[in-house]
Chain A
Amino acid sequence: MPFAGYEMPIQYPAGIVAEHRAVRTAAGLFDLSHMGEFFFRGNGAGAALDGLVSSDIAGLEPGQARYGLLTNERGTIVDDVIVYRLGREQYMMVVNAANIDKDHAHVERYLPKDVQFKDRSADVALIAIQGPKAEGILSRVTTEGDVAALQPFAVEHAHVAGAEATLARTGYTGEDGFEVFVENADAERVWDALMEAGRDDGLLPIGLGARDTLRLEARFSLYGNEIDETTNPIEAGLAWTCKLDKQFLGRETIAKVKETGPERRIVGLVVDGGVARHGYPVQSGGAMVGRVTSGTYGPTVDKNIALAYVPTALSKVGTAVAVRIRDRDVPATVVKTPFYRRRE
């Protein structure tokens, strides 16, 4: 399936459910080379990124990473990103594949001239290994880097299968796991070495289908579904990513929405009697009140789950609504999210 210019499988031969379970119980390997990698360098890089990203980038120590939002002056979401502080004056921002060009232009527009910006999306490959056995498998092929000692959202330089790598304990599955950034030329070797090292642990390659079911159970937003340039972070449930006591694009608007309360909110739904999909109407009292942003069968929770925007008055946990599935109103209940939380 073509995805942002890359050929990516929806599923490998094991199938979506088997792949999903492998990540929850053993480990899975993801080729995420389509993601974009922006590099920033210079004395003012940290301060400049702090003004572009909603979260506390100024507070990052070297070797730390943080999730945040690229926002615009209207206080809506240009992209969701992770910013990694690689060195004292050196940062990497990982952006969504479909947004690389847009983000590139956005960053160039606002970045001070004394900060060096390099878009290396086409040259850098990203391989993620996720799941309870990820640490053990990755350790076996890593030298010059302490995989076990790496804290969540920490980043370090390492050698993986002999290749120069940037190694971070980050992911998009709700499991413990790592993301390994390498040069394109090394990607195949690193992939093969990890597959080999994980064979006896049940490591499986994971396609786009299971990537979606895993992130949805963990209630991670998908750009284009839950968030886009029409959504503000508060209604999207991403207030926690907004450091409102600093200056960043759209801060005033976001702060105002937070103060007055949003008109609509994203909620988790459990649907009883059908699978809700992106775009399906949410019904209440015989009228359409919102839309499903993402929906699937969640293999680990063994329920049909969805995220949807509904009016704030209908956003309380326990509220009964319906999802219109093929001309039928199928009962659904607002539930607490994430749908799945890993046991520590």
Chain B
Amino acid sequence: MSSVPEDLRYSKEHEWVRLGGDAATIGITHFAQEQLGDVVFVELPEKGASVRQFSSLGVVESVKAASDIYSPLSGEVVERNVKVIEKPELVNQSPYEEGWLLKVKIADKGELSKLLSAEDYRAHIGETAGAGGD
């Protein structure tokens, strides 16, 4: 069963958001990394780039295939996870902690209402119970 931490918000495209002040940390969910399999390459926008909610944010490649990732929020990229670019397997090993992808300065907090709670996301991926971090 996939882990879906309570304190995060989720997109239907399987990204997660952790809020901290004006910035949000973004990654892909445990469920997403399971579906992808071994991640071998991560392509992310540069610091300073603008991203738009539900538009393409970058690409995560597993041995099997390349998958687009979509930004759960609009804003400006303030940091990208250099460690995950060097060690893409962190996305598999620690999707909610060391395997985070980007930090984005949130442009519009109103967009948060378009994201799912942990409970809704669990329902979205077809799981009825369970919680916890990785």
Interface on A for B, CB 8 Å cutoff?
10-11, 15-18, 209, 213, 274-275, 277, 296-297, 299, 304, 326
Contacts and interface: CB of A to CB of B under 8 A. Distances in A.
B59 A209 contact: no
A17 B93 CA distance: 13
Given A209-B37, A274-B41, A326 B59 contact: yes
Nearest to A302: B40
Contacts of A17: 38, 40, 63
Given A209-B63, A209-B64, A297 B43 contact: no
Contact of A213 (B43, B63, B65, B66): B63
Contacts of A304: 40-41
Interface of B: 37-38, 40-41, 43, 59, 61-66
Contact of B37 (A11, A275, A326): A11
Could you tell me the dominant secondary structure of chain B's interface residues?
A: strand
Given A209-B37, A274-B41, A297-B40, A16 B66 contact: no
B43 A296 contact: no
A9 B90 CA distance: 25
B64 A16 contact: yes
B63 A297 contact: yes
Nearest to B63: A16
B34 to A, nearest CB: 10
B63 A296 contact: yes
Nearest to B88: A297
Contacts of B37: 11, 15-16, 209
A96 to B, nearest CB: 21
Contacts of A16: 37-38, 62-64
Contacts of B59: 326
A15 B43 contact: no
B38 A275 contact: no
A17 B61 CA distance: 13
17 contacts: A11-B37, A11-B64, A15-B38, A16-B62, A17-B38, A17-B40, A18-B38, A275-B40, A275-B41, A275-B61, A277-B65, A296-B63, A297-B41, A297-B61, A304-B40, A304-B41, A326-B59
